[in-house]
Amino acid sequence: MSVHTSTQTTHYHVQKRRRAQFLEDWRANHRTVVALEDVPMQVTERGSRIGVYVGADGDRATRTMDALAHEIDPGVTTTIHRHSWDAMLFVVAGHGWIEIDGRRVEYGPGDSLHIPAWAWHRGGNDAGDTVRYLSFSSEPLLETMGMAIIEDAGHTPVAELPPRPPYSAGRDGSDPYAARLRRLARDQDARRSGRLHTDWDELELRNTPRGTRTTFLLDRAIGYQASGITMAMFEIGPGRAQSMHRHPGEAWLYVVEGSGESYLGPEPEGGTRHPWKKGDIIVVDHFLWHQHINTDPERTAKVVRIHMFDSLLETMRALCDPLVLFEEPPEHIRDAQAGDPSTIDWPTVTRPTWP
């Protein structure tokens, strides 16, 4: 007996409606700047408070990364959980600790941390001030592929929890299966041995041709093994601007210190300037020309930048070749926009404060 399944219409019409609805929903949820005051903090069963800057759980849908704010009060230890995606944290305020697969890491304001996929982790605050940090994760991307899984184990001791998913070691042989086992085993060995913590006091900001001074916070260039998310920080001089550029994929910028505005538009001219301040997140949508400007004539502005260059954009580069996936004006225009950062009297780098 045969069974026929039918939508009662052609696949052409179904796909056309579905694609149109997807774009309509996406545009309806688009934000350019998410202000600090628009991110209410809500009590959770983990023992912490969480607010959503960008993500489906806060009615601000995204396809690749989410951005959440977390707070832990003094004397609190959260429940322990793990998930199939990895996450990056940037500490805004307070001194606390995080336990990752039984390894305890102490942190303070300005520190950055990496939580690998499938690593059991919990946080705590033994100090006198509330801890606040931002998290950026690839959960939406894994959800798109049907691979987003989360497991909460309450306050179960680490010794009683199962380890990360096992994997087979490499195998001798020249056949494709043996080659795959070796390749994936090497990848897992590397991912499970990457860095977990960048201390603020380790940072060294260096001048760039784009008019800013910058440093990596979490990136494979400094020993991290994240699944494509990269995080860096740049500082803009008083009254100065970063040079204009554009690229595909979402980029988010969290304002650590200072105030200013960002130019966003489909062309280098004729776009809109969007003001921002400390605690806001700037959302740079796909392939928009953008430029970040420090409007304060006396103080610098520090911004943490997050995107998925090492995974999503590298894949897109291969798929879209020969299209250019990072574009900036010719050097003489770029240099005129940005100015020479060596002429700026940069202040001593000190840990961020809150609020």
- The third-level CATH classification (topology) of the domain covering 203-342 is Jelly Rolls (2.60.120)
- Judge contact between 353 and 279, C-beta under 8 A: no
> Cα separation of 333 and 72, whole Å?
46
Residue written as tokens 């033994």? Answer: 126
Query: Which pair of structure tokens corresponds to residue 191?
Result: 């991912």
Give every CB contact of residue 231 below 8 A, 6+ residues apart in sequence: 88, 90, 112, 136, 216, 217, 218, 219, 304, 305, 306
pLDDT in tens, 133-153: 999 998 988 888 899 999 999
Cβ contacts of 144-149, under 8 Å, gap ≥ 24? 144/63, 147/84, 148/83, 148/84, 148/85, 149/83, 149/84
pLDDT at residue 178 in the model: 94
Give the residue from 95, 97, 91 showing the smallest Cα distance to 77: 97
Cα R_g (the chain), whole angstroms:
22
> Cα separation of 48 and 9, whole Å?
49
- Judge contact between 54 and 80, C-beta under 8 A: no
- Does 203-342 match 41-161 at the fold level? yes
Three-class SS state of 56 = helix
pLDDT at residue 261 in the model: 97
* Regions of the chain short of the pLDDT cut 70: 1-8, 22-23, 25-31, 309-325
> Cα separation of 37 and 32, whole Å?
15
The amino acid that residue 319 corresponds to is L
The domain locations on the chain are 41-161, 203-342
- The third-level CATH classification (topology) of the domain covering 41-161 is Jelly Rolls (2.60.120)
- Judge contact between 86 and 137, C-beta under 8 A: yes
> Cα separation of 77 and 97, whole Å?
9
